[in-house]
Structure 1
Amino acid sequence: MALVSSSHHHSRLLALPPELLEHVAFHLATRPPNLGSPAALLPLLSTSRRLNQALSPSTNSALYARIARAKFTLPRHGKRRLKADTDASLLPTFCRVLRVIRSGDPHHPQAEWALQIAYGLLLVDDTAKPDLSDLSYAPTSSPSQPPPTAPRIGKNKRQLGWAGARAFALRWIRSRMWENRNGDREPSSIQDTEWRPEWSTEAWRVGWPRDSNATASALWLLWFFESKETLAAEPDNLRQNVMAQLLPFVVAPFRYASALAPPHHYTIPLLDSVRAKVGLDQGITVPTFHGDYPIYALGKPSRLPIRRPRSLSSKSKVLGPRLLLPRKITSRQRKRLLSAPPARLLFFARVQAGSRMGIPPHLPVDRADADRRWLEGGNTGPPIISLTQADILEKNTRPIVRFERQVVARLGSSSLEDIWAVDPAVSDASESTRARWAIDLWRGRVCRGYGEDLEVASSDESESGSSDEDGQRTATPRSTQIAEPEPGRIGRVYELGSFAGLWAGTMMMPGEQAYTNVINTVGGALPPGGLTNDDFVAVARPVYMRIREHWSFHPNIPAPPASADSATNDEGLGNGWFPINTSFRTGASLAAGQQLEVRVPSAAFAQETHVYETISLLDGDLPKARDGAHDLDTCPGCKSVEQRDWERRQFQDMDQDNDADVDEDQYSEPPSSATPSPAVALSPSSEDGGFSSPDSEDEEDDWEPLSCDGVQDVVFTGETDANHGQAWHHYEYIGRVRPWDGLIGLLMRPRNRTIGLATYFISGHLVGRDTFEGTWQMAAQDVLAPSWGGSLCLARGEE
């Protein structure tokens, strides 16, 4: 009887139109909670041969592409969807990642691969970006209560959270991050596992944990799922153990890179004068007990020939999507992930969750009480710098890092599946949500080498350099391009306006003697017993800074960096990447305080003046420059975007058949006004950067929307607010953004230069939009010698 009934149901299913049958299969595969693989399809596919043929992945890629998009946020290609077979091919890969993570075994054969894919999934997720109005550090706020307008949490994060990604990453960190630290289990070949040339040196066989893509991915994965609640539930002994595991990455910037290129370089690709030294093996790195210094994370620079730019019409095969992962283990194609930045975030998060500064009862209660005591003591003049109980209370209350939003249990949720459930109806096409981690994604994809010029979008000879008689491009010497905008980029590496405002955090200052002893240890061995917090987290110095952001627009010329030092290649690290004696001025002659003059010393005791527009932040924290600052009619970036937009429209279907001949007669001529010009350094006109990339054979045809804001350069000025300066000393800040990778460099110098306070150079990146992580070093130090320095983290403040 059952067989007859089953046969009857089969015939009824087969009688359905193919569209309805696919619709049934889709809803079966994505039924709530829509977590993990579409295992519910297996009984249906096993029902009959005809159903299997109609609904199998090999014959119905469109169905599985639809399922993949319902379960995950997939990589995108501009405003176009990937081909159905490409989307469908991602589904088994991502489901396999969930199975590996859900196993909970950090020693699984595919654990390293799964960690890296999981990190890539989080970078392309559709989690919405929070507004400043969502942030709060007030002690009266309840961390258990979700904000009234909580942003949507992305599909990928929900899937990974359900699989147990946080616990899996933590197990990896505790059990595998330190493996092979003595070089006792080296792979038999570079194909066996991830391998880096520096690991063959003795400096990486003396007890220090290795910086690998898998370790970095595990650290980032843990950070994405960290919160006040997870840290509050962490036992104190576990917290201390994790901090001890992370400490080497946090306190040893002389060994672990914190940026893809050393901070004393501002111009990348490197200047000709610097590249010339590579062949002579001069002035690039200095051997130390801990390996070569400074640290070039992508490998030592090489004198590669300048790449010829490609036009859009040149045909190249469009490869599948990339998730910031290495497909080939070669020094040139490997996408490097760094462990120090996420280790720093996780370490400072635990500092934030742990002890607080003690409040001595003898201190004045607040600033008014301190001023009263000053006068009652018979003193005259301005009160001295001094702490109050209110200052320490504020320091203890403010966060050092800001966590990402986590999934909040739905009302009435009774199981893990209910909490992490994925809504298949949520669209993943929103531009506002897909840009959440675009900065980090693009940085990892476009920063691939130091010694070659980036390709640009157009073949027009006026774009960069000139052509010889045979039509080959002759590169303009880099030394003549210092003050010009950088060539186009395929992705933005700094979000304009994101660093303006109040920032507060902590600078960890290790004991100078202990730090120096480790640097000078013969052989570079890790000290017996490891590093201790007492030695390397000796002083937690509060840092407050209010930053203003200034933009350069065409036709103004951006201020150049300092000329590269002939011995060290330093481009002004000790002066915030500006020439020495550069001054900054606002005044009545400028546009009502909305402009900044950067005055750079020139020949014959003269000065060159470079005008920047001071931006303001609108409601919703959107940056805006003065009206008319961006001249759309003369902006070369706008012209470049217009040209590339025209080219995109003409060739938008070329990827459907890359080997097909193109009938040029069917295309119209480009607009006469769309003459290609150099793309601006940090503007959205550089987001697409053309239709080729530094490694086009290993990059997908993936762009962000074409637009132009005209920004050529970003400069920062700032200071410590008066109330914070009266407690922690008054500092001034100047700096800028490095166009190549969005590294923020700031000079932190005391306002009063006569009281013996040191001047520091701070460099780092924004994580998301509300946390700054980086390192500090003495501004006057020799850039080719490791010396006293450390880490810092700052959180965006509230106005």
Structure 2
Amino acid sequence: MPTSLSSLPVEVLEHIAFYYVCPRVLGPPVPLTTLLLLSKTIFYKLSEARHLYARVFKHKFSSNAIRRRGFEPRVGEWASQLRWWLEVLKGVRNRRRRPGDEAYLDDIDAEEVGVSETMYALWIMCLEDNGCNRAQMQLAGVYEWVEGYIRTEMYKNLDKGWPLANAENSCAMWIFWYLSSKARLMEETPDQRESLVQLVLPFVTVPFRYPSAFAPANHFRLPLRSAAYSSSSTPFSIPTPHGPYPIYLHPNRHTWLIPHFDRWTALSTPLASDAAKLVYFSRRELMLFNVPPFLPPNREDHRARVRARLAAENNGEVDEARVQMVFRNAPPYTDSPAAASDSQQNMVMVDEQETNEQVPPEQDDSDMQRDPTMFTGYPQQGAVYTPGQLNGLWTGRMIVTGHRPNPFNEDTLRLAAVPLYVRFSEYAIYSGGTPIPCANDTDLNDDIPPDNAFDQGIRDAWFPPNAKLSANPDRLTVSVPSSGLTDREDTYDKRKPGTFHDRDTCPGCKARENALETARAQIPVGVDARSELIGNSQEQDELPPYVPSVETIPPCNGIRDVVITGSTDPRHAAAWGDWVWRGRVRKWDGMVGLVRSPNGSSAGNGGGKIFFYGTVIRGKNLVGTWRLAHEDPRMPAYEGAFTLGRKDE
């Protein structure tokens, strides 16, 4: 006897419905309307089939990130997120059909998602992408729609002529960079590329208006301390035409509530400055450096010119030792074995373009957790910095004010890019050891006057004054002068994180065990812990909403402090100058602070100490701002943007 569709068990009917609504991965699911209209029985069985919609979400969108970072969503929460993201992508497709500026206007009568909410939702889709989210956004035309917003809408609302670092503009630039690819960059015409650069340039070049962190780099410890009464968001700040400086971005003033897996989640507005730097440098790094015709095109030609000049000065007599000394002490910047030169076009390429393709999704975990309000109220906040990610060779460029133009006026003042090459090494101190203090360390002395505690060592990369670093292949010894007879010494290790600390006494390990015990206590007796926590059982729907799973409680790596050293490879030092680097990682937001100083003979070539501070994005891009290290941190200084990218060897 044939079996009718309505007589099938719910599980079988949902299985059939899944393949009906998901004939392919890309694109929105096929509406269930046809199946729902077959009979009242089928309508009743499928209208509340939340397990079906949860399965559709996991088929259409990336689902591992939320499990890894926060919690295991319940069945209804998967279904809610599916409806929300489908609504957002549908809104983008509908907006793209509208002419001109109408694509970015909020129509109250249309009951569609607003531009601000759309931008935030798309940015969360980028952060939680394992590949599926990117494909769905590309199919919906998100890249083209966001590019149109940057070109036509970002300057609609201005503050004294400057674009706003609001949620729409910030998220638009982040999404635009995230969805960029090498193919898309190469397809841009020079005019399109230049217009984009001009649009994002204010966010890149005005650090005293658009900050690179939620708290300025002069602070290494929390809480931030103020000497006089002021608003909670601007301690120590002075008024300027661009607003208070230094800039403190208080989360209460930069927070949005958005639906995220059926929960109203508070998220801070991402920093516009970092996104603009990524967009700017991704375009500028496609351009080769011009080699002036009066400079030698390669090393051998430069050596020949030095020999000829010395011969002319000494009546034809040439001392090869003298030639080699002059050659090494005064090398032209374009004469580098690391640079691939084109003598016909007088151009030189010094770095490689980094793209966002084929990046492991785990690289976004630190980016997600650095948000000061990300997952507030959830079981835990993850690590804001991934130890070991800076090890290796990094290349990039820094923006500086160029040589004095002739004539010198408002129209001719221009910027120049200087190449950067550095090989970083990371060292960590684990639980059981004592981290070195910073300058004016409030963790060690609460009686430090607030005015002194304001600057915690920005000129020395947060090290105490006169601290000395001594490195060998596996360990780094930091010597700090003390008031006693002997200096204090602390040892930092270069072993793999998580393999070198006492788990029995480590506070982080104890906290993790307590969290696991709390999670296990919520599981009914007789239910397999793993199936209950990762959602393989229908009983998952009965769990409290904030119960963590084993997968979402991060393992403890035991690290209490991270120190970074850097050096210049000989071939790069011969071309761009010999520099040494040292720095630390600010543990409460993952900011990297580094001081670059000349090494040996480079001290006489006009180089001084420069403080670089920024954030590692996606594990392979370090972007931020540089400034002269000796300048007063209370005041804007000679500073600019920089970027460094990991170079595969």
TM-score by length of 2: 0.81
SS at match of 1:353: coil
Give the corresponding residue for 2:558.
710
Is 1:576 equivalent to 2:429 in the alignment?
Answer: no
Contact 1:337–1:444 (CA under 8 A) maintained in structure 2: yes
Contact 2:432–2:501 (CA under 8 A) maintained in structure 1: no
Q: Which amino acid letter does the alignment assign opposite residue 177 of structure 1? A: M
Give the corresponding residue for 2:144.
167
Report matched runs for 1:395-414 at 5 Å.
396-399=348-351, 401-405=353-357
Contact 2:392–2:425 (CA under 8 A) maintained in structure 1: yes
Partner Cα separation in structure 1 for residue 38 and residue 10 of structure 2: 16
- Among 58, 76, 94, the alignment partner of 1:69 is 58
Q: Deviations over 1:39-84 (max 9, x none)?
A: 342222223332222111xx22111111122111246345963111
Is 1:535 equivalent to 2:400 in the alignment?
Answer: no
- Among 230, 242, 256, the alignment partner of 1:290 is 242
SS at match of 1:53: helix
Give the corresponding residue for 1:123.
127
Partner Cα separation in structure 2 for residue 282 and residue 223 of structure 1: 30
Cα gap change, 1:715/1:447 in structure 2, threshold over 3 Å: closer, same or farther?
A: farther
Instruction: Give the CA deviation at 1:30.
Output: 0.9
Contact 2:497–2:558 (CA under 8 A) maintained in structure 1: no
- Among 539, 545, 554, the alignment partner of 2:431 is 554
- Among 491, 497, 501, the alignment partner of 1:630 is 501
- Among 745, 759, 762, the alignment partner of 2:593 is 745
Instruction: Give the CA deviation at 1:92.
Output: 1.4
Q: Please identify, of 223-232 and 276-285, the stretch whose mean Cα deviation from structure 2 is larger.
A: 276-285
Q: Please identify, of 698-707 and 599-608, the stretch whose mean Cα deviation from structure 2 is larger.
A: 698-707
Give the corresponding residue for 2:517.
646
Partner Cα separation in structure 2 for residue 390 and residue 340 of structure 1: 34
SS at match of 1:782: coil
Give the corresponding residue for 1:214.
168
Q: Which amino acid letter does the alignment assign opposite residue 607 of structure 1? A: D
Give the corresponding residue for 1:665.
none
Contact 2:396–2:644 (CA under 8 A) maintained in structure 1: yes
Report matched runs for 1:227-266 at 5 Å.
227-266=181-220
Partner Cα separation in structure 1 for residue 106 and residue 288 of structure 2: 36
- Among 112, 118, 123, the alignment partner of 2:116 is 112
Partner Cα separation in structure 2 for residue 605 and residue 403 of structure 1: 53
Instruction: Give the CA deviation at 1:321.
Output: 7.1
Contact 1:283–1:567 (CA under 8 A) maintained in structure 2: no
- Among 608, 618, 621, the alignment partner of 1:771 is 621
Contact 1:501–1:548 (CA under 8 A) maintained in structure 2: yes
Cα gap change, 1:52/1:259 in structure 2, threshold over 3 Å: closer, same or farther?
A: same
Q: Which amino acid letter does the alignment assign opposite residue 363 of structure 1? A: P
Partner Cα separation in structure 2 for residue 300 and residue 51 of structure 1: 48
Q: Which amino acid letter does the alignment assign opposite residue 106 of structure 1? A: Y
Contact 2:384–2:587 (CA under 8 A) maintained in structure 1: yes
Partner Cα separation in structure 1 for residue 305 and residue 338 of structure 2: 16
Contact 1:298–1:336 (CA under 8 A) maintained in structure 2: no
SS at match of 1:292: coil
Partner Cα separation in structure 2 for residue 436 and residue 243 of structure 1: 27
Cα gap change, 1:338/1:345 in structure 2, threshold over 3 Å: closer, same or farther?
A: same
Q: Deviations over 1:535-564 (max 9, x none)?
A: 34x221111111110000132201111106
- Where relative contact order (Cα < 8 A, 6+ residues apart) is larger, the structure is 1
- Among 359, 369, 393, the alignment partner of 2:340 is 393
Q: Deviations over 1:516-536 (max 9, x none)?
A: x99xxxxxxxx9xxxx7x634
Contact 1:349–1:400 (CA under 8 A) maintained in structure 2: no
Cα gap change, 1:445/1:586 in structure 2, threshold over 3 Å: closer, same or farther?
A: closer
Q: Which amino acid letter does the alignment assign opposite residue 590 of structure 2? A: G
Instruction: Give the CA deviation at 1:385.
Output: 3.6
Give the corresponding residue for 2:490.
610
Q: Please identify, of 275-284 and 97-106, the stretch whose mean Cα deviation from structure 2 is larger.
A: 275-284
Is 1:87 equivalent to 2:78 in the alignment?
Answer: yes
Instruction: Give the CA deviation at 1:12.
Output: 2.5
Cα gap change, 1:213/1:389 in structure 2, threshold over 3 Å: closer, same or farther?
A: same
SS at match of 2:244: strand
Partner Cα separation in structure 1 for residue 149 and residue 163 of structure 2: 13
What RMSD over aligned residues (CA atoms) do the two structures have, in Å? 3.6
Give the corresponding residue for 1:384.
329
Q: Which amino acid letter does the alignment assign opposite residue 353 of structure 1? A: L
SS at match of 2:184: helix
Q: Which amino acid letter does the alignment assign opposite residue 617 of structure 2? A: V
SS at match of 2:596: strand
Cα gap change, 1:247/1:282 in structure 2, threshold over 3 Å: closer, same or farther?
A: closer
Contact 1:125–1:155 (CA under 8 A) maintained in structure 2: yes
Is 1:761 equivalent to 2:614 in the alignment?
Answer: no
Cα gap change, 1:455/1:242 in structure 2, threshold over 3 Å: closer, same or farther?
A: closer
Instruction: Give the CA deviation at 1:299.
Output: 6.0
Q: Which has the higher strand share?
A: 2
Instruction: Give the CA deviation at 1:364.
Output: 5.5
SS at match of 1:646: helix
Give the corresponding residue for 2:222.
268
Structure 1: tracts of 5 or more residues without a match = 1-7, 127-153, 182-203, 302-318, 407-431, 449-453, 458-488, 519-526, 588-592, 616-622, 657-697
Instruction: Give the CA deviation at 1:638.
Output: 2.7
Contact 2:122–2:175 (CA under 8 A) maintained in structure 1: yes
Give the corresponding residue for 2:534.
none
Instruction: Give the CA deviation at 1:396.
Output: 4.2
Q: Which amino acid letter does the alignment assign opposite residue 739 of structure 1? A: K
Q: Deviations over 1:651-707 (max 9, x none)?
A: 3579x9xxxxxxxxxxxxxxxxxxxxxxxxxxxxxxxxxxxxxxxxx9996873342
Structure 2: tracts of 5 or more residues without a match = 97-102, 108-113, 311-318, 342-346, 442-448, 528-544
Cα gap change, 1:251/1:601 in structure 2, threshold over 3 Å: closer, same or farther?
A: same
Instruction: Give the CA deviation at 1:224.
Output: 1.4
Q: Please identify, of 394-403 and 433-442, the stretch whose mean Cα deviation from structure 2 is larger.
A: 394-403
Cα gap change, 1:605/1:283 in structure 2, threshold over 3 Å: closer, same or farther?
A: farther
Cα gap change, 1:363/1:167 in structure 2, threshold over 3 Å: closer, same or farther?
A: same
Report matched runs for 1:502-517 at 5 Å.
502-510=393-401
Partner Cα separation in structure 1 for residue 35 and residue 609 of structure 2: 69
Partner Cα separation in structure 2 for residue 755 and residue 492 of structure 1: 40
Cα gap change, 1:300/1:217 in structure 2, threshold over 3 Å: closer, same or farther?
A: closer
Instruction: Give the CA deviation at 1:24.
Output: 1.0
Q: Determine what percentage of the aligned residue pairs are the same residue.
A: 28
Give the corresponding residue for 1:52.
43
Give the corresponding residue for 1:678.
none
SS at match of 2:489: strand
Instruction: Give the CA deviation at 1:179.
Output: 1.6
Q: Which amino acid letter does the alignment assign opposite residue 31 of structure 1? A: P
Instruction: Give the CA deviation at 1:769.
Output: 1.6
SS at match of 1:63: helix
SS at match of 2:612: strand
Contact 1:320–1:700 (CA under 8 A) maintained in structure 2: no
TM-score by length of 1: 0.67
Q: Please identify, of 751-760 and 709-718, the stretch whose mean Cα deviation from structure 2 is larger.
A: 751-760
Instruction: Give the CA deviation at 1:279.
Output: 7.4
Q: Please identify, of 273-282 and 432-441, the stretch whose mean Cα deviation from structure 2 is larger.
A: 273-282
- Among 359, 367, 388, the alignment partner of 1:440 is 367
Contact 2:497–2:559 (CA under 8 A) maintained in structure 1: no
Cα gap change, 1:71/1:173 in structure 2, threshold over 3 Å: closer, same or farther?
A: same
Partner Cα separation in structure 2 for residue 599 and residue 446 of structure 1: 37
Partner Cα separation in structure 2 for residue 358 and residue 370 of structure 1: 13
Q: Which amino acid letter does the alignment assign opposite residue 384 of structure 2? A: V
Q: Which amino acid letter does the alignment assign opposite residue 167 of structure 1? A: E
Q: Which amino acid letter does the alignment assign opposite residue 610 of structure 1? A: D
Partner Cα separation in structure 1 for residue 350 and residue 205 of structure 2: 23
Cα gap change, 1:33/1:371 in structure 2, threshold over 3 Å: closer, same or farther?
A: same
SS at match of 1:748: strand
